[in-house]
């Protein structure tokens, strides 16, 4: 390649692509997937649905995923007892793409998005891609958000977007509804969107509400969800958002790429939603396993961040990379993420969690 310098954007030179290591072989407790494969009858129904539409793939898909969005609205009504009109629901290839649409529509040059660290490592990347200035403020030591500090930051920085993950990744922390409401209210005064990323909502502990409950009171609120975690559908790439204002959905329709959601994806997602109880049958078990593992970790003397998600952040290690590597040597892949000294483990099947416990004891034996 004869001395040609790619005219890459200056801010992308030397930047590596995001992603956890994808390895075959070890027990995979690293990217918060649902560890249970889809039940046979659901997998067969998906295959039938895709078979039925395959001959029609010479046509572009239904552009606005109208039927899927109606199914999602019905699902939310059952899951969180909120009534949402499909005109307020948006769907895309994973909630990552939904969030990208939101940054395209509400971020941009000269605008600022803020969040509270430690949190999901993709937020700065959406900001970079959309030329949005990005500022992180620290969370408290218990990984909650100091609401007064947040409100002061919002009034000071005047962002166009405030992004809050709840339950948060990688810490597992759910934010109280009152805190979210106070932050959304401050955003109302300064003209900012409040975006609550609820990728892990279905794993929240009893009594922990969803931000969906605030939608009727906060016209600037958007709640994003995904089928990648509790639904066990990470491979299909389906995420969605519910907005207080249908104009948010219309804005996403402006910035999305044409026919962004394939006919195959829409059909598979609709089958999954029709079988939601079967697909989520293990969610209660995963929650129980999480609480049991958190107790065990604490009993073994580790620091454990309280979790409302399907993973646990624990520590602290003088050399966390060494512990991560030793766990991998023991056949268990977890995630080296979060603040220095901490590691994150996804909740697996009961057998996988046993293997993790044994591996961790071996990895940390003196």
Phi, psi of 327 (to 5 degrees): -60, -40
Q: Across-strand partners of 114?
A: 135, 162
Q: Give strand pairing partners of 223.
A: 196, 242
Q: Which is nearer to ligand PLP, 96 or 323 (CB)?
A: 96
Give yes or no for residue 94 binding ligand PLP (CB under 6 A): yes
Interface pick for ligand PLP out of 80, 160, 173, 226 (rule CB under 6 A):
226
- Residue 164 sits at φ, ψ, to 5 deg, of -130, 120
Give 5's contacts (C-beta < 8 A, 6+ positions apart): none
With 0-12 CB in 10 A as exposed, 13-18 as middle and 19+ as buried, what is 147? middle
Q: Work out whether 231 is an interface residue with ligand PLP (CB under 6 A).
A: no
Cβ nearer to ligand PLP, comparing 243 with 363: 243
197 lies in the binding site for ligand PLP (CB under 6 A): yes
CB 220 within 8 A of CB 251: no
Residue 96 and residue 318: Cα distance in Å, rounded? 33
**Binding status of residue 26 toward ligand PLP by CB under 6 A:** no
**Which position among 114, 153, 165, 215 is part of the footprint of ligand PLP (CB under 6 A)?**
165
Distance CA 3, CA 344 (A): 43
For 200, phi then psi, to 5°, come to: -110, 20
* Residue 338 interacts with ligand PLP (CB under 6 A): yes or no: no
User: Does residue 44 contact residue 66 with C-beta atoms inside 8 Å?
Assistant: no
* Residue range at the interface with ligand PLP (CB under 6 A); choices 15-23, 151-159, 227-235, 298-306: 227-235
Query: Of these, 30, 34, 80, 96, which contacts ligand PLP (CB under 6 A)?
Result: 96
Question: In the set 28, 183, 199, 271, which binds ligand PLP (CB under 6 A)?
Answer: 199
Q: Which of 106, 120, 143, 314 binds ligand PLP (CB under 6 A)?
A: 120
Q: Which of 130, 169, 171, 307 binds ligand PLP (CB under 6 A)?
A: 169
**Interior CA angle at 230 toward 355 and 23, to 5°?**
45
CB 366 to ligand PLP: min, Å: 34
Kindly determine how many residues on this chain lie close enough to bind ligand PLP according to the rule CB under 6 A. Answer: 14
Q: Is 239 in the site for ligand PLP (CB under 6 A)?
A: yes
How close are the terminal C-alpha atoms of the chain, in Å?
Answer: 51
CB-nearer residue toward ligand PLP: 234 or 264: 234
- Residues at the contact surface with ligand PLP, assessed by CB under 6 A: 32, 94-96, 120, 165, 169, 197, 199, 226, 228-229, 234, 239
């Amino acid at each position: 390649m004869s001395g040609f310098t790619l005219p890459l954007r200056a801010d992308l030179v030397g930047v590596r692509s995001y992603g956890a290591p994808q390895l075959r072989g070890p027990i995979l407790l690293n990217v918060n997937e649902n560890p249970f494969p889809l039940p046979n009858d659901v997998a067969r129904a998906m295959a039938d649905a895709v078979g039925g539409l395959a001959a029609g793939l010479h046509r572009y898909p239904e552009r606005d995923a109208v039927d899927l969005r109606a199914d999602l609205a019905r699902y939310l009504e059952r899951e969180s007892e909120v009534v949402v009109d499909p005109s307020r629901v948006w769907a895309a290839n994973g909630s990552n793409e939904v969030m990208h649409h939101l940054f395209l529509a509400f971020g941009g040059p000269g605008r600022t998005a803020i969040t509270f660290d430690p949190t999901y490592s993709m937020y700065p990347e959406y900001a970079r891609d959309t030329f949005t200035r990005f500022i992180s403020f620290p969370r408290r030591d218990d990984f909650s958000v100091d609401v007064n500090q947040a409100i002061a930051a919002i009034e000071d920085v005047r962002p166009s977007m405030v992004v809050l993950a709840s339950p948060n990744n990688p810490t597992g922390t759910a934010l109280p509804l009152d805190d979210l409401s106070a932050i959304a209210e401050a955003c109302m005064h300064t003209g900012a969107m409040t975006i609550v990323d609820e990728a892990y909502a279905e794993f929240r502990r009893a009594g922990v509400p969803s931000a969906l409950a605030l939608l009727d009171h906060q016209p600037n609120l958007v709640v994003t969800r995904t089928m990648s975690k509790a639904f066990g559908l990470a491979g299909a790439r389906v995420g969605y958002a519910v907005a207080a204002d249908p104009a948010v959905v219309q804005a996403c329709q402006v910035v999305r790429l044409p026919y962004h959601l394939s006919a195959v994806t829409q059909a598979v997602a609709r089958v999954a939603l029709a079988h939601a109880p079967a697909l989520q049958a293990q969610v209660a078990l995963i929650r129980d396993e999480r609480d049991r593992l958190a107790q065990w970790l604490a009993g073994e003397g580790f620091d454990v961040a309280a979790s409302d998600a399907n993973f646990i952040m624990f520590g602290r290690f003088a050399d966390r990379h060494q512990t991560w590597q030793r766990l991998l040597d023991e056949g268990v892949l977890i995630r080296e993420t979060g603040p220095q000294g901490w590691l994150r483990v996804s909740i697996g099947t009961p057998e996988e969690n046993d293997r993790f416990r044994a591996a961790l004891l071996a990895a940390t034996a003196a």
